Amino acid sequence: MTTTTERAVGQPIGRVEGPDKVRGAARYAAEYPVGDDLAYAWVAQSPVARGTLTDMTVDPLVETDDVLAVLWHGNAPRLAEADDPELAVFQSDRISYRGQALALVVARTLEAARRAAATLQLDIEEEPHDSVLRADHPELYTPEKVNPNFPSDTASGDVEAALAGAPVTVDVTYRTPPLHNSPMEPHATTALWTDDDLVLYDSNQHPPGVAASIGGLFGLPADRVHVITEHVGGGFGSKGTARPNAVLAAMAAKVTGRPVRLALPRQALFSMVGHRTPTIQRVRLAATADGHLTAIDHEVVEQSSRLFEFAEQTAVATRHMYAAANRRTGHRLVRLDMPTPRWMRAPGEAPGMVALECAMDELAVTLDLDPIELRVRNEPSVEPESGTPFSSRHYVECLRRGAERFGWHDRDPRPKQRREGDWWIGTGVAGATYPAMAQPSTARVRRLSGDSYEVSIAATDLGTGARTILTQIAADALEVPVSQVRVRIGDSTLPRASVAGGSSGSASWGWAVTGACHSLRESGREEATFDSRELIKQQEKDGKHAFGAHFAEVRVDAVTGEVRVSRLFGMYAAGRILNPRTARSQFLGGMIMGMGMALHEESVLDPAQGAWVNHDLAEYHIPVHADIESIEAEWLDEQDDQLNPMGSKGIGEIGIVGSPAAILNAIRHATGVRIRDLPARLDKIL
Ligand code: MOS
């Protein structure tokens, strides 16, 4: 075995698949050549939010030879019961949300499929619907759990008494709108049946999970569904599980006996693959005159659907951010006639920390105390609700070191003090946190000829650099240069991996890869497999979080209300950083998405139709290059030996947690205007 002098982990190695991507050789789900008989599918979606589909007729003028099949509940193959009712496509006449797939046209050409779908006659008996989230909705209820498995409500001490007796209190309500993930690569599937087995080229975050759920629907064991997901152009949670496109493509391929491709158009993504729930969040804080919190109360109202319960963990981060003797958190849901909300980058933490970190800023203003100092004064020594010690927590260091790097020390706390030309200038700060999770996974390593190694795991790379990091981890565990390691991922037939979600990919897969490589070396064999399940079971789950601090400088046009983020800075403590190049990119990506949440992104609901009014990137605004001025991420070296063999924490989501609040707090500092209803559009500022 070769001895290397320099460890690969920690090096800023470029993405190993980068050259393939640049040359166009990297294939995405809708790009695989699968034969001349490939057929194309187009979805007809429900124009109403609630009702029944009683009949469907195809216009004989457009039903040409090119149209191979038109599927709907009247003729579709029966599927086994789905865990996710949104996957039970064409299994009943019920319409549960606007945009639901009601029929699928399969044709020889994409154009023929699209044209026929547009002319289908759908006979619908419409029913009244309810799509508006309100804090006083009569059907609010308390879920038993919130995602992934937290109690909905927690309480300790006497919050009301503390609020009544405190010299200083804050009682504020923040609203965040529905948001859509909008990955660059829309959801797509190319499906074909070989004998009785199913092959799916599918864009998702979890090939083994997709194989299991699609297999379940079609009555096949997971090992007879082969899901290939070599490259993914983003997901942000919307590809965490199989979406209807995979079921529809598989169904169409079965019925027509041909390979079928279904690439959802951008517009369909707004109803068929999930969104971030809107939230209404009331935060009440009580403090002593010198800024010690005596009570924290965070109550959230959010949306679920008629189909199944999705309960986002919006107030959960509040349970461990700050010390206070009296505390309460709670979640209330209402089932609306809307698509079910799903995961979107830092689901829970991102909207929840908008409310908490803006409320902390409001408290700092009320106390006339520096907002960093307020946070430092309320630093807990253990998790305030569970009592578990933190495996590592360098939040205060992130605030202090970030303040130095950003240049915070001579800040005049009064609003509307700095003006340059037409622009009011202000700065803001907010905390960040995200759980450090690891999930059971299995990896295999084989020694090949020429002293090189092949590592296999059914992980996915969403464009984040996962493949590269696993190569680095394996190289170090095998003590060889990265050039001698080839990592195979993105295929459900490889050893089972956990989902690329919850910022847990590197920790989970890296653990299994490290185990397999060590086992290979110890055994002296040519091949070794390692399953991390037992080790992960033995781990303490509480007390493991990444932390960070976000700093923003904005300028707000005094005449137009336009907001520009002139500086955005993140300082993180997220365990060991495995690859500074891909990590920086992850942090910045999260912060940019946070900027979108603060200023641009909003899925606008038409309550009369139960419909998203904006459903493409022309009208759903995300930050573009011209919105970004100075943006930078740094991190502290954090040692934590209670995590995983690499000592890493997840970094994919923490960038969007707190960055919106830092921007909103900066807007208030610049202008004196406190925005509590996101996004901070200019009409709200003027
Ligand atoms: Mo992330 S929302 O866990 O893919």
Q: At 230, is the secondary structure helix, strand, or coil?
A: coil
- DSSP state letter for 80: P
Site residues for ligand 1, CB cut-off 6 Å: 205, 235-237, 240, 343-345, 347, 501-502
Distance of CA 508 from the midpoint of ligand 1 (Å): 14
653 given a catalytic annotation: yes
Which ligand 1 atom sits closest to the C-alpha of 205?
4
179-193 pLDDT tens trace = 999 999 999 999 999
CA dist 41 → 56, 67, 514, 524, 577 (Å): 17, 10, 42, 51, 43
Which ligand 1 atom sits closest to the C-alpha of 236?
4
- Count of beta carbons in the 10 Å neighbourhood of residue 302: 28
- DSSP state letter for 225: E
Dihedral of CA 615/619/621/627: which sign? positive
Distance of CA 235 from the midpoint of ligand 1 (Å): 8
User: What confidence score (pLDDT) does residue 2 get?
Assistant: 47
pTM across the whole model: 0.97
E strand intervals along 17-66 = 39-45, 51-57
d(CA 229, CA 460) in angstroms, rounded, equals: 7
291: CB partners within 8 A, 6+ apart: 363, 364, 367, 369, 373, 374, 377, 378
Strand partners, 570: 550, 633
d(CA 418, CA 415) in angstroms, rounded, equals: 8
Q: Which of 236, 273, 464, 654 to mutate to test the pocket of ligand 1 (most atoms within 8 A of CB)?
A: 236
Domains of the chain: 18-28+439-537 (3.30.365.10), 32-128+182-272 (3.30.365.10), 145-179+276-436+542-685 (3.30.365.10)
Which ligand 1 atom sits closest to the C-alpha of 462?
4
- DSSP state letter for 677: B
With a cut of 50, list the residues of the chain below it in pLDDT. Answer: 1-2, 4
Amino acid (one-letter) located at 123:
D
442 in Cβ contact with 661 (< 8 Å): no
d(CA 334, CA 175) in angstroms, rounded, equals: 16
Torsion of CA 360, 361, 365, 366, to 10 degrees: -30
Q: First CA to last CA across the chain, in angstroms?
A: 67
- Count of beta carbons in the 10 Å neighbourhood of residue 452: 15
CA dist 10 → 368, 487, 582, 686 (Å): 42, 18, 11, 47
Q: Taking the CA of residue 20 as centre, how many other CA atoms within 13 Å lie in the half-sphere pointing to its CB?
A: 10
Going by their DSSP bridges, the two strands 260-263 and 326-336 should be labelled as unpaired
Dihedral of CA 678/631/548/395: which sign? negative
- DSSP state letter for 27: -
d(CA 675, CA 299) in angstroms, rounded, equals: 19
Distance of CA 587 from the midpoint of ligand 1 (Å): 14
Amino acid (one-letter) located at 494:
L
For the record, the structure tokens of 367 come out as 């106390």
Strand partners, 101: 45
User: What confidence score (pLDDT) does residue 5 get?
Assistant: 54
Distance of CA 345 from the midpoint of ligand 1 (Å): 5
180 in Cβ contact with 275 (< 8 Å): yes
For the record, the structure tokens of 360 come out as 């902390």
d(CA 140, CA 685) in angstroms, rounded, equals: 31
Place of tokens 């959801």: 187
Q: Which of 276, 345, 657 to mutate to test the pocket of ligand 1 (most atoms within 8 A of CB)?
A: 345
If you count them, how many residues does the chain have? Answer: 686
Tell whether omega for the bond before 347 is within 30 degrees of 0, i.e. cis: no
Percent of the chain surpassing pLDDT 90: 96
Which ligand 1 atom sits closest to the C-alpha of 347?
2
Backbone angles phi, psi at 623, to 5 degrees: -60, 140
d(CA 287, CA 367) in angstroms, rounded, equals: 9
